[in-house]
Amino acid sequence: MAGLTLGVLISGRGSNLQALIDACARADYPARIALAISNVAGAGGLARAEAAGIPTATIPHREFETREAFEAEITAALRRAGVELVCLAGFMRLLTPGFVEDWRDRLINIHPSLLPVYKGLDSHARALADGVRFTGCTVHFVRPEMDVGPIVAQAAVPVLEGDDEETLATRVLAAEHRCYPLAVRLIAEGRVRIVGERVSVDGAEGPERAVLNPLEG
């Protein structure tokens, strides 16, 4: 099935892009990736896309005098590819309000924390410093403010004794690889509605009970 047409923006290794590639390869998945764009030449994610037969483009931000000109080139490429939903997957550039508004409610991002906490960089280090028992990841619609927007899906990840940034990041990343394809599926199936600045998911069910950390003895 063809389904919703995706464009994915990356800057690095593209592990979340790979999660979307794997999801789109399933016969019952209601979306396909039409284009992967990187602002960094030689980014690892481009090779992942090419291996899957997905068209790629490199649009180096340093070659443009303004952010607006850089983003205009991205928008032109996305529109030529017929993209309906833009997925940020490790795209390390802040987007202008103009770009965000141009793609409003058609632009999503994944962030490695349970937003609205730990926006921005170093989310794992900050979670460890605060001693929280859970962290996680969030897929949300993008708004002009950084790491703000209606939340589509989240995954809670326990913080374990002895965790450091690397071990925690690895556990959160595994959750991201499940959460992002789920969020895209919900959107592609037409089950996601934005009411005010909150997401309502038709037919959605939550966990049956609370999860404790540490476990009861």
The reported pLDDT for the residue numbered 179 is 98
Q: How far apart are CA 53 and CA 110, in angstroms?
A: 24
Active site residue 124: no
Q: Do residues 152 and 142 touch, judged by C-beta distance below 8 A?
A: no
The answer to whether 1-103 and 109-205 have equal CATH topology is yes
Strands laid side by side in the 56-58 sheet: 56-58, 31-38, 4-10, 85-88, 107-111, 134-141, 151-158
What CATH homologous superfamily does 1-103 map to? Formyl transferase, N-terminal domain (3.40.50.170)
Write down the domain spans for the chain.
Answer: 1-103, 109-205
Residue 74 has what pLDDT? 98
| Positions of the chain with pLDDT under 50 | none
Q: Which entry of 61, 111, 124, 140 is annotated as an active-site residue?
A: 111
Report pLDDT for 208: 86
pLDDT tens for 126-170 read: 999 999 999 999 999 999 999 999 999 999 999 999 999 999 999
Nearest alpha-carbon partner for 110 in 166, 165, 154, 75:
154
The whole-number pLDDT of residue 1 equals: 58
- CATH architecture of the domain covering 109-205: 3-Layer(aba) Sandwich (3.40)
Which residues is 4 bridged to in the sheet? 31
β-strands 4-10, 31-38 pairing = parallel
